[in-house]
Structure 1
Amino acid sequence: VNGCTPVYLLSHHPKLSKKVFELKVNQALRKAENHPFNSIILLEAQKLLTQYGYAFQLEIGDRKIYEDYLAFKQDYLDASKSFSSALVLGKNSLRIKYPEIDQWLLNPDRIKIKFEIQHIPNLYWTAASIGGLIKAGKGSPETIVLLPQIRSLLYTALEIDPSWGNGRIYTALISYTMSEFPTSREKIESVKYYFDEAVRLSNGTDAGPFVAYAESVSIKNQDKEEFIRLLNKAVTIPSTDDEEINLQNHIAGNHAKWLLSRTDELFY
């Protein structure tokens, strides 16, 4: 197992992969518990726990919704707990450098913080943790009120360095923007710009923007041809020398395959 990459495990041994990832998460959580004032260690635990929530709890839960509704509900409940814990880690990590972070998240127009470039990952993963919490909560009132915080975190990160993570902020903005109500022509034009920038900055090596746009925009517009084209692109992106990108692409590719399998029910 030690000699296998996460992508190899996900591809060939999905159950083992989940156990290995759980082990990594638990190790990171123990380390964070032992180093509560080390922002880098807290961030790593948050990142792993958030990735686990998306890749192994929400993703697996989605596949059970029609065949085992009780199991689906349990996976989403477990994911909610993961994202909630990840959000606590993220806030604790940011609070070390920015003690006003809680007040800023509630009222960014009144509370001013000058974030440093090295803390873009903290902003990004805290937004991702909140996004996961909202999805796991199925848009419940107690989670949907957190939506403006995602906007503040992502736009702040974007202002500092739009190219960070090879366009990952733009990819996150695709899903976030389309989750806001109401949807307008201007909003869809903005999302198209985010998509183009994410693809440009990643040189087309990131499956994320293709999946995000297909799921957020193509379905809403009932553009079946675009939906299939984007998802087929996502599942055929070749591997890179960056194992982190390969892992992201494998997870996004799995989601793309699942969406493609539901094409007939998503388009009517």
Structure 2
Amino acid sequence: MPLLRRSTFLALFALFVSVSLTGCSPRQMVVGSIADELAAQGQASENDLDLAREASAFYLKLSESVLRSDPGHRGLAEAVAGGFTQYAYAFVAFEADRIEAKDAKAAERLRRRAAQLYRRAHQHAMAALEKETPGFAHALSAPLAADQPKLAPAQVGLAYWAAASWGGWISLSKDDPDVVADLPQAVRLTQLAWQADPAWGQGALIGLLATFEASRPGGSQAQALVWYDQAIAQGGGNSAGALVGKAEGYVQPAGDRALFESLLKRAVAIKDAPDSPQALQNEVMRRRAAWLLEQAPDLF
């Protein structure tokens, strides 16, 4: 989850506006430097979820503006796509889940907003992949493996956020058949990323693969279980997301309440080391795990 202090935001914004009026070559050099800084900020460690939420809007708006001026900046494109995806999941879609029982109309409005944020994230990531590999989107829909695009390990982060945001967008667009029809391509993109770097993200990538396998029509629940367990193992047992993913994606549909609650309690109990890069993601998933434990009587 991106975090940018307000003072840093204002300084970078002022610099960005000033260089927008300069000549092309020096302008691109300075914009590139700003993009580097914003991309680095997107990777910064933070363990205060509420502070991250307050800072995210500043970060995302400025970063999106800079990215439009430097669309070939892979690191910034990855940070922006990841930022919008995580914001949609943690602060919009989850809030919709929490309030649905009390206010179904408000929950639906939030889900529509989350869908648009996921779409925005997906478009940024895919635009960056398309810029690096012209024809990427078209090749992704090719029926033959030989005609499908190949990913370099350095592109896996972009591909992950493109696929994760795509999945979120599809899941909230059940009434839009054109969006839902793209599910096979989202799955394929995840598979291509996994083939390029199966250990990416300490279990996040293979966990996404498991979620797609468990939820797609004709998917193998047995294969999904294998991948969920691999995601937990890759995270060293310290990834709350992998545990919650298995609980929601595999165990809840199987009707095993005892295992469901056991996995969620393990997620809630995870303690992060100081400055852990997983701290914020784990806090998001610990809160979801705690909420799911409260909902367990109604889910089974």
Q: Scaled by the length of structure 2, what TM-score is found? A: 0.80
The CA deviation at 1:242 is 4.9
Tell me which residue corresponds to 2:120. Answer: 85
SS of match in other structure, 1:244: coil
CA 1:241–1:96: 2 relative to 1, 3 Å: farther
Question: Residue 79 of structure 2: which of 44, 51, 59 is its match?
Answer: 44
**Which runs of structure 2 are paired with 1:90-101 in the superposition (5 Å)?**
90-101=125-136
The CA deviation at 1:135 is 2.2
Cα distance in 2, alignment partners of residues 216 and 198 from structure 1: 13
Cα distance in 1, alignment partners of residues 70 and 161 from structure 2: 19
Instruction: Check if 1:236 corresponds to 2:269.
Output: yes
Please list the CA deviations of residues 161-196 of structure 1 after superposition, one character each: whole Å capped at 9, or x if unmatched: 21111121111122111111245xxx2221221122
The CA deviation at 1:108 is 5.3
Gaps of 5+ in 1: none
Cα distance in 2, alignment partners of residues 40 and 214 from structure 1: 32
Please list the CA deviations of residues 183-232 of structure 1 after superposition, one character each: whole Å capped at 9, or x if unmatched: 5xxx2221221122112212111111210111111111110000000000
Tell me which residue corresponds to 1:164. Answer: 200
The CA deviation at 1:147 is 1.0
* Contact 2:72–2:132 (Cα < 8 Å) also in 1: no
* Contact 2:78–2:158 (Cα < 8 Å) also in 1: yes
Larger Rg: 2
- Worse overlay, 128-137 or 16-25: 16-25
The CA deviation at 1:264 is 0.8
**Which runs of structure 2 are paired with 1:36-185 in the superposition (5 Å)?**
36-107=71-142, 109=144, 111-138=147-174, 140-182=176-218
Cα distance in 1, alignment partners of residues 274 and 150 from structure 2: 34
* Contact 2:235–2:242 (Cα < 8 Å) also in 1: no
**Which runs of structure 2 are paired with 1:181-260 in the superposition (5 Å)?**
181-182=217-218, 187-260=220-293
Cα distance in 1, alignment partners of residues 224 and 275 from structure 2: 27
* Contact 1:39–1:96 (Cα < 8 Å) also in 2: no
The CA deviation at 1:39 is 2.6
Q: Scaled by the length of structure 1, what TM-score is found? A: 0.89
Question: After TM superposition, which residue ranges in structure 1, 4 or more long, deviate above 6 angstroms?
Answer: none
SS of match in other structure, 1:262: helix
Q: Aligned residues: percent identity? A: 26
The CA deviation at 1:140 is 3.8
The CA deviation at 1:160 is 1.4
Superposed CA RMSD in Å reads 2.1
Which residue type is aligned with residue 261 of structure 1? E
The CA deviation at 1:123 is 1.1
